[in-house]
């Protein structure tokens, strides 16, 4: 799937600029994040397999073929968001190959509108790991093990910084600077910073959950002085090289949610981020101060957290219901 657009195909250019052509190829692919490219590859492979079984041409595909594929996905029970991503993957593959974009056809657009109207587009939101739930989760973590110290630090830092799981696993020791009052953390790349300008947030030392203390205890116990902050641990407590995966973050959260008596199916990587924002809203935090931590670009995105926290506050029916 990851081929050059027609305008910079290697065969259309002199061999003397092959190195520059290769660099152009790499930069073209870097337009999308690695995670997005992996998802697109998987989605386009599924589309290709579907076409092969039906003797249809996947590249370039006709609008009618794509519309039929998307309808088949909806009939099979896929969510509207998943179907939209598959359509985006097909579009991306055609754009990279230099083809006219069949997904721009009104035929495909009408089918997608009908799918959204029929299925609905409400997101399947995971539960927010609010401050009290985080306290319950860390209370059951064995304090004397290396894995316990790591998981405690991961949950508390992830919560305190409203981190996305991809941001958590990308942190290195160089990104953490201890200062009076807590930690200054540099996030070098994120969903809202695709060009890696870098964003810095503050993690207070705290007097209840004490996230900074947990991070320091983990780094000291693991002997980590450089490289990834959060790393996998083998059976027997042996620290492994490299960074923890984003999927592992979700599994850690689910494991400790279950330990705390919560339904693990309701918790995932986003629960830490949602939990901080929900707790901040419940405590009346200024929305702009919340944005400093979460790095949201739009107040509208945060409005849902604030609205849920204020749902019963000064309710219109409070005086007569």
| Site of tokens 């599994």 | 251
41 is catalytic: no
Among the listed residues 164, 165, 210, 256, the single catalytic one is 164
Among the listed residues 41, 109, 259, 270, the single catalytic one is 270
Is residue 133 exposed (0-12), middle (13-18) or buried (19+ Cβ within 10 Å)?
buried
Six-digit token string for 195: 């060009």
191 is catalytic: yes
Among the listed residues 37, 188, 189, 296, the single catalytic one is 296
Nearest to 86 by CA among 111, 117, 118: 111
| Contact criterion met (CB below 8 Å) for 191 and 165 | no
In degrees to the nearest 10, what's the CA dihedral of 135, 139, 144, 146? -50
In degrees to the nearest 10, what's the CA dihedral of 239, 250, 307, 295? 50
Among the listed residues 52, 54, 113, 191, the single catalytic one is 191
Six-digit token string for 219: 């780094």
283 is catalytic: no
92 is catalytic: no
DSSP of 195-211: T---EEEEEE--SSS-H
| Site of tokens 């506050």 | 313
164 is catalytic: yes
Catalytic residues: 164, 191, 270, 273, 296, 305
């Amino acid at each position: 799937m990851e081929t050059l657009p027609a305008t910079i195909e290697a065969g259309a250019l002199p061999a003397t600029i092959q190195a520059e052509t290769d660099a152009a190829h790499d930069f073209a692919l870097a337009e999308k994040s690695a995670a997005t490219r992996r998802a697109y590859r998987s989605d386009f492979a599924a589309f290709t397999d579907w076409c092969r079984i039906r003797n249809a041409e996947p590249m370039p595909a006709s609008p009618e073929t794509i519309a039929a594929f998307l309808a088949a996905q909806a009939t099979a029970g896929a969510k509207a968001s998943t179907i939209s991503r598959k359509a985006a993957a097909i579009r991306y593959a055609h754009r990279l190959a230099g083809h006219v974009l069949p997904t721009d056809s009104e035929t495909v657009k009408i089918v997608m509108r009908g799918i959204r109207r029929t299925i609905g587009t409400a997101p399947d939101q995971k539960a927010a790991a609010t401050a009290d739930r985080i306290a319950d989760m860390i209370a059951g973590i064995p304090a004397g093990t290396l894995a316990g110290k790591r998981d405690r630090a991961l949950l508390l830092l992830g919560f305190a910084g409203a981190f996305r799981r991809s941001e958590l696993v990308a942190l290195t020791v160089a990104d953490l600077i201890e200062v009076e009052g807590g930690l200054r953390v540099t996030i070098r790349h994120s969903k809202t910073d695709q060009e890696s300008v870098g964003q810095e947030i503050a993690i207070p030392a705290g007097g209840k959950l004490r996230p900074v203390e947990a991070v320091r205890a983990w780094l000291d116990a693991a002997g980590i002085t450089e490289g990834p902050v959060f790393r996998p641990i083998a059976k027997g407590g042996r620290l492994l090289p490299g960074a923890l995966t984003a999927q592992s973050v979700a599994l850690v959260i689910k494991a400790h949610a279950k330990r705390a008596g919560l339904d693990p199916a309701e918790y995932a990587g986003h629960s830490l981020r949602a939990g901080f924002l929900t707790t901040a809203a419940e405590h009346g935090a200024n929305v702009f101060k919340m944005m400093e931590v979460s790095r949201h670009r739009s107040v509208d995105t945060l409005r849902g957290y604030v609205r849920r926290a204020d749902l019963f506050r000064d309710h219109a029916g409070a005086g007569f219901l």
